[in-house]
Amino acid sequence: MIYKIQATSQGHFTRVQHYLLYSARQKPHGEFNKARWLYFGCSQLLVHTVRMPDSTYGRSDSYRVATTQDKADRSPKKKKGGTKDMDDLKKEVPITEHKMSIEEVCRKFNTDIVQGLTNAKAAEYLIRDGPNALTPPPTTPEWVKFCRQLFGGFSILLWTGAILCFLAYAIQAATEDEPAGDNLYLGIVLTAVVVITGCFSYFQEAKSSKIMESFKNMVPQQALVIREGEKVTINAEEVVGGDLIEVKGGDRIPADIRVVSAHGCKVDNSSLTGESEPQSRSPDCTHDNPLETRNVAFFSTNCVEGTARGIVICTGDRTVMGRIATLTSGLETGKTPIAKEIEHFIHIITGVAVFLGVTFFILAIILGYSWLEAVIFLIGIIVANVPEGLLATVTVCLTLTAKRMAKKNCLVKNLEAVETLGSTSTICSDKTGTLTQNRMTVAHMWFDNQIHEADTTEDQSGASFDKSSVTWLSLARVAGLCNRAQFKAGQDSLPILKRDVAGDASESALLKCIELSCGSVRAMRDRNKKVAEIPFNSTNKYQLSVHETEDPNDNRYLLVMKGAPERILDRCTTILVQGKEQPMDEELKEAFQNAYMELGGLGERVLGFCHVLLPEDQYPKGFAFDTEDVNFQTDNLCFVGLMSMIDPPRAAVPDAVIMVTGDHPITAKAIAKGVGIISEGNETVEDIAARLNIPVSQVNPRDAKACVVHGTDLKDLSQDQMDDILRNHTEIVFARTSPQQKLIIVEGCQRLGAIVAVTGDGVNDSPALKKADIGVAMGISGSDVSKQAADMILLDDNFASIVTGVEEGRLIFDNLKKSIAYTLTSNIPEITPFLFFIIVNIPLPLGTITILCIDLGTDMVPAISLAYETAESDIMKRQPRNPARDKLVNERLISIAYGQIGMIQALGGFFAYFVILAENGFLPSRLVGIRLNWDDRSTNDLEDSYGQQWTYEQRKIVEFTCHTAFFVSIVVVQWADVIICKTRRNSVFQQGMRNKILIFGLFEETALAAFLSYCPGMDVALRMYPLKPSWWFCAFPYSFLIFVYDEIRKLLLRRNPGGWVERETYY
C-alpha cells in the first residue's frame, strides 16, 4: 500500500493521489492511514461516474458530486427530448393497479380471486395480447453482419482501390492490344484481401456471439397459474393478463403481478432497480410509485423466499422490464472511437492519394501523355496509396488484444470496442470495485472513547491497543457473531488475509479482522449458537442476531446488532466504557459524534455495534423469536463501539469522477469528499450558503465549483441546463438514478464530447449500457438484457478487468499508431518508383507484384508484432486521450512516415535499382527517357551504355531483378523502420529489444524475402529473380541512416519537451 502510493506519486500527481499523499503525511503511521476511501452506510446503489480530466470540454481535473433526495421518493423520471416513441418509453411506468383494490383489479381483467381466469378467457387474452415474452431485439441477419464486415470502415478504401484497378484494366483492355495484367491482378488481390479479412473478423465476432448465446437461459420458464380453480403449471409464455398465479421462493416471477396475498414473500428487485436487498411483498399499497409499492412484483425478478399469489397485470413487452428492454433496443449507438479514428485515417490517406494522383495527372498531361494514359496513371497512383496490408494488420492487432482480454475474462463482443475503454474519459459504474481494490479492510475502531487503529498484520505485530479490554472483546464478539460472512472451505493453510470469503465486502473485512485478532470466528459462533437473525435491509439499516451465551449456566440470550452508526445509537441507552455499562449522556453522544465524523471524514465506511443481554424473565430459554413480526426488544441496547473500513483505491483509478449514487445526498457528498471527487476547498452551493449564512437561493451558482444534483432535479432540467451543470461545475455527484436518468447523464456527457463507459448488471442499466460508447456488463450476475446491450462482458464479474481493459485499450491505441506508422512508411518507396517511371521515363523500378509482396508479405509480421510492444511509460498515469486532438493518425505521423523515413527508404530502393542496372550495363544517364523503347516488345536490340544489345525479355529480366532488389531493399530499410517504430519517444536503447515476436518478425521478413528471391520457379510464378549477394547490401547504409536519424529525432524530442521537434514530429 505504501509502495503503491509512492509509486503513483512519482509522475504527475492526480488529484486523488494528491489527496492520498496528503493524508499519508498527516497520519504517517499505520497501513491504512495512507489512503482513505470511504463509504458511509450501506448504499444500495452506488453509481460513480468517473470522469477523467479534460479541459477542452470545460471540465477541469476534478470530480462531480451530486446526490438525490430521500430514498423513499424514487420514481422513474420523464426524459425530455428524443423521439416520440422513445419518449413514451422513457415516461413513468403506467401501472395503476397497485392503487386499485383487489376487486377492482379482478373486475378489470374479468378474473376471479379464487378461481382465476377461465380457460376460454385465457385463450382469448393470449390471442389478443400475444405471448408473455420479451420481443427479442431485432437480430441482424447473418449476411448483413457479414456485409458489414465486408464493407465497413477500412474495407471501403480497399474496395475503391479494387474498383479503380478494374476500371484501369478495362480502359487498358479496350485501348491496348496486350494490356498489362498488373491492374487486373492488383484488383483481384485487393478484393481477396478485403474478403479474407472480412471473413476473419466476421468469424471472430461470431465466436464472441456464440459465447453470448450460451448465456441465454435455454430452459423454458414455467408458471403456476390457477385457472377455473385448478392449479396448472404452464409455460410462462402462455401467461396472460388477469391470470391468478402463485410464486414461491426460488421462482422467477413470470409477469408483472399485483399481489393479492403473501406469506413472508420477498423479491429480489436488483436487476430492475439496482437494490440488492430483497424486498418484502404484501397485498397493501405502500407507495404511489409502482416501483416502490409492496403489492407489485415484477416480471423476471426473483422471489427469494416465501410465497405469494397475485393477478397478472402486464405481460411481455408491456411489463416494466419489457419497457426497459424495448427502450434499450431502440437506442441508437454511435460509432466506436476507433471506427472514427479509422475514418479519419481514411480521409487523410484519400487526401494524400488524390493529391498525388491529381498532381501527377496534370504533370503527365503536361509531359505529353495521352489522356487515357494519364487516367491510368492517376488510378495507379491512387491505388498505390492504399495500404493493402493495413486492414489485416489492424484486425489482427485488435483480435490479439481481444484474445488477451478474453484470457482475463473480459469478453469483447465487438472487436472495435477493444480500444474504446482506453479512450474512455468518463466511467459510470454502479460498483465501487471499479475504483477500489475491492478488498475492504477494517482500518479503525472506536471504543472506550478512543479511536484505535486496526491491526491488520498477519502476525498481529502492529497491535496498538490493549486487547484484553472488555469493551474490545465485546466489540469483537458482536462483530464476529452479527456477521453472515464465512471463509470458504479448504483454505486453512492460507494466510487469513488471502482466504476467500463468502459474504459481502464489509462483513468479510470484519470477519478477517476478528479472525486475525481473536482467533477462530467459527469456534466463537459454535459457542454462541444463533437462535434468530434479521439480515440487513435498507429500511432498518441494521442487522441483528440473537445467540445463546457462552456460559452454559447463563440462560439469557445475547442480542447483537450492527448497522449504520446513527441508527444504532438511536437504539442505545447505555454505552460500554472500560467494560462498564454507562448511561448514554450528552457528553458521550458528542464523543460518538466526533469519532463518527472523524472516521467518516477519513473516507471510511463506519459501522456501529451494540448488544444486550436479554432479561431471562422476559425471554426464557426456548423463547420463540419471530424475526418477521419482531416480538423482542430492539432498543434500549448497549452501545459497544464503531469499526470503520476502507477499500483501498486502485493505483490506476482515473482522475476525475462524476458520482451517481443511491445514497442520501449528505452521505454521498461525504463519500465524494472522502475520495476526492469533491476536492478540498471546493464547495457546493449549499456549503457556501451555510458558510455565509445566507439562503441557498442567494448564492451565485457560478461560485460553487462542486455541485450536488438531486435526483428529483434531474427530471426538471432542460438539456441546456444539464449541459450547463456538466460544463460549469467541475465536481458533480448524481444519486439514485433511474434507468432514464442514467441515460440522461450518459447522453449529457456524450454531448460534451466525452467518451463514456458504463458498467452495470441490471436491466435498469441496459439503456445506459447501450447508449454508452462502451457498455460493460457482468457475465455472472448480469441480466440477459444488460448483456445484450453491452459491448464487453466481464465473465467473472471482476471489476479489476475494467482497469485491465483501460490499459489494454490505451496500449493497443499506441501500438496501432506504431503499426500504422510502420506500414505507411513503405508506401513511399512503393509509390515513388511509379512516379519516376512517369516523370523521367525510366524502367519501372518496383512492380505491382513486389509491392503486394511487401504489403501482404514481409510487412505483415513486423507490423503485427508491434501490437505486442510493451508500453513506453506508465500509460495509466496518462490522461485519457482527447478524441478531438489525439488522433490515431495525424499529420505528424504522415509527415514522419511519408515525408522523412519513407523518403530515405525510397532513396535506398532507388540506389539498389540504379546499382543493378549500372552493373548490368545501363548507367543512369542511359536510363532517363528510355522507357518507351524499354517497354517496346518489338525492340529486341536495345543498346545499353556499353554498346551491347538486349532483347526485350533479357532487359525485362534485369528489370524484374531490380524489382526484387528494390523489394529486398525495402525489407532491409523496414528492419530499421520497425525498430524505430517500437518507440515514439524513448530510445530503443531504453525500450530494449524484448519483443520476441518482433525479433521473429525481423527474421521472418528476411527469410521470406530470401525465399521469394531464391526459390526456384519464382521467376515464373512471381517474376522475382535471384539477387547477387552484394545487392542485398545496397540499402544497408540507408537502413542505418534511418535508425540514426530517428534516434536523433527522439533524443531532441526528449531533451526539449514541448519544443519544435515534439510539436512537429511527435505522432
Partner 1 sequence: MSSSPQEQNREQKEEQKEEQKEDKEEPKESWKDCIYNPRTGEFMGRTASSWGETVSMFVCLSLSDRETNTLDDNVPRYQDRVANPGLVIRPHAAEISFNRSDPTNYNQYIQNLHNLLQRYNDSIQERNDLCMVGEYTEQDNEPIKKVCQFKRSMLRQCSGLRDSSFGFAEGKPCIIIKMNRVIGLKPQGDPYINCTGDSPLRMQYYPSEARLDKMFFPYYGNKAHADYVQPLVAVQLLLSREDLNVEQTVECKLEGTNLRNDDDRDKFMGRVVFRVKVSE
Region binding partner 1 by CB under 8 A among candidate stretches 260-268, 483-491, 563-571, 1037-1045? 1037-1045
The closest of 603, 560, 571, 454 to 516, measured between CA atoms, is: 454
CB of 1019 to partner 1, least distance (A): 9
Type of residue numbered 517: S
> 324 or 916: whose CB is closer to partner 1?
916
Q: Does 728 bind partner 1 (CB under 8 A)?
A: no
* Site track for partner 1 across 882-921, x = CB under 8 A: ---------------------------------x--xxxx
- At 608 the three-state DSSP class reads strand
Report d(CA 435, CA 719) in Å as an integer: 29
Q: Which residues from 561-620 bind partner 1, rule CB under 8 A? A: none
Alpha helices in 757-799 (DSSP H): 766-771, 784-789
Region binding partner 1 by CB under 8 A among candidate stretches 337-345, 435-443, 697-705, 1031-1039? 1031-1039
Region binding partner 1 by CB under 8 A among candidate stretches 74-82, 284-292, 445-453, 984-992? 984-992
> 564 or 958: whose CB is closer to partner 1?
958
Region binding partner 1 by CB under 8 A among candidate stretches 376-384, 643-651, 954-962, 999-1007? 954-962
- At 1010 the three-state DSSP class reads helix
Region binding partner 1 by CB under 8 A among candidate stretches 262-270, 329-337, 532-540, 1038-1046? 1038-1046
CB of 909 to partner 1, least distance (A): 15
Q: Does 1039 bind partner 1 (CB under 8 A)?
A: no
Using CB under 8 A, which of 953, 1016, 1017, 1029 touches partner 1?
953
In the chain, helix, strand, coil percent, each to 5? Answer: 50, 15, 35
Name residue, grid cell 475514418.
343
Region binding partner 1 by CB under 8 A among candidate stretches 23-31, 283-291, 1006-1014, 1027-1035? 1027-1035
Q: What angle do CA 603, 17, 804 make, to 5 degrees?
A: 100
Q: Does 954 bind partner 1 (CB under 8 A)?
A: yes
Alpha helices in 270-370 (DSSP H): 270-273, 320-330, 337-366
> 720 or 941: whose CB is closer to partner 1?
941
CB of 944 to partner 1, least distance (A): 7
To the query of whether residue 855 is one of the catalytic residues in this protein, the response is no
Task: Specify whether the CB–CB gap between 540 and 479 falls below 8 A.
Answer: no
Q: Does 490 bind partner 1 (CB under 8 A)?
A: no
Q: Does 1047 bind partner 1 (CB under 8 A)?
A: yes
Report d(CA 686, CA 20) in Å as an integer: 26
DSSP string, 106-132: HHHHT--TTT-B-HHHHHHHHHHH--S
Using CB under 8 A, which of 430, 761, 855, 944 touches partner 1?
944
Q: Does 938 bind partner 1 (CB under 8 A)?
A: yes
Report d(CA 549, CA 481) in Å as an integer: 11
CB of 659 to partner 1, least distance (A): 35
Q: How far apart are the first and last CA of the chain?
A: 36
> 629 or 953: whose CB is closer to partner 1?
953
Report d(CA 878, CA 122) in Å as an integer: 62
Report d(CA 395, CA 151) in Å as an integer: 14
Q: How many residues bind partner 1 (CB under 8 A)?
A: 40
CB of 1037 to partner 1, least distance (A): 5
The total of other beta-carbon atoms located within 10 Å of residue 961's CB is 23
Task: Specify whether the CB–CB gap between 865 and 1000 falls below 8 A.
Answer: yes
CB of 684 to partner 1, least distance (A): 40
Using CB under 8 A, which of 72, 1028, 1057, 1060 touches partner 1?
1028
Question: 656-661 and 731-735: which strand pairing?
Answer: parallel
Cell numbers representing residue 715 in the block:
427530471
Which of 430, 448, 791, 855 does the annotation list as catalytic?
430
Task: Specify whether the CB–CB gap between 415 and 197 falls below 8 A.
Answer: no
Question: 46-51 and 756-760: which strand pairing?
Answer: unpaired
Report d(CA 329, CA 326) in Å as an integer: 5
Task: Specify whether the CB–CB gap between 528 and 550 falls below 8 A.
Answer: yes
Using CB under 8 A, which of 593, 948, 996, 1059 touches partner 1?
948
> 449 or 933: whose CB is closer to partner 1?
933
The closest of 690, 688, 661 to 674, measured between CA atoms, is: 661
Using CB under 8 A, which of 40, 557, 950, 967 touches partner 1?
950
Q: Does 177 bind partner 1 (CB under 8 A)?
A: no
Q: Does 1030 bind partner 1 (CB under 8 A)?
A: yes
Using CB under 8 A, which of 490, 941, 1029, 1058 touches partner 1?
941
Name residue, grid cell 458511509.
40
The closest of 51, 69, 59, 66 to 733, measured between CA atoms, is: 66
> 607 or 875: whose CB is closer to partner 1?
875
Q: Is 750 exposed, middle or buried (0-12, 13-18, 19+ CB in 10 A)?
A: middle
> 647 or 1046: whose CB is closer to partner 1?
1046
Using CB under 8 A, which of 947, 1016, 1017, 1029 touches partner 1?
947
> 391 or 904: whose CB is closer to partner 1?
904
CB of 941 to partner 1, least distance (A): 5
Region binding partner 1 by CB under 8 A among candidate stretches 428-436, 536-544, 721-729, 1046-1054? 1046-1054
Q: Does 1055 bind partner 1 (CB under 8 A)?
A: yes
Q: Does 987 bind partner 1 (CB under 8 A)?
A: yes
Name residue, grid cell 471482476.
798
Q: Does 13 bind partner 1 (CB under 8 A)?
A: no
Report d(CA 338, CA 791) in Å as an integer: 14
Task: Specify whether the CB–CB gap between 297 and 262 falls below 8 A.
Answer: no
Using CB under 8 A, which of 1041, 1042, 1053, 1061 touches partner 1?
1041
Region binding partner 1 by CB under 8 A among candidate stretches 399-407, 446-454, 946-954, 1009-1017? 946-954
Please list, in sequence order, all residues whose beta carbon lies within 8 angstroms of the beta carbon of residue 868, skipping any fewer than 6 positions away.
400, 815, 995, 996, 997, 998
CB of 923 to partner 1, least distance (A): 8
- At 545 the three-state DSSP class reads strand
Type of residue numbered 724: D
Task: Specify whether the CB–CB gap between 683 and 550 falls below 8 A.
Answer: no
CB of 1051 to partner 1, least distance (A): 6
> 438 or 987: whose CB is closer to partner 1?
987
DSSP class of residue 493 equals T
Region binding partner 1 by CB under 8 A among candidate stretches 200-208, 661-669, 694-702, 952-960? 952-960
CB of 13 to partner 1, least distance (A): 16
DSSP string, 150-191: HHSTHHHHHHHHHHHHHHHHHHHHHH-SS--THHHHHHHHHH
CB of 1025 to partner 1, least distance (A): 9
CB of 803 to partner 1, least distance (A): 24
The closest of 898, 922, 819 to 863, measured between CA atoms, is: 819
Q: Does 949 bind partner 1 (CB under 8 A)?
A: yes
Q: Does 1033 bind partner 1 (CB under 8 A)?
A: yes
CB of 171 to partner 1, least distance (A): 25
Question: 244-248 and 302-314: which strand pairing?
Answer: antiparallel
> What is the contact surface with partner 1 in residues (CB under 8 A)?
915, 918-921, 938, 940-941, 943-955, 957-958, 961, 987, 989-990, 1028, 1030, 1033-1034, 1036-1037, 1040-1041, 1044, 1047-1048, 1051, 1055
Catalytic positions, please? 430
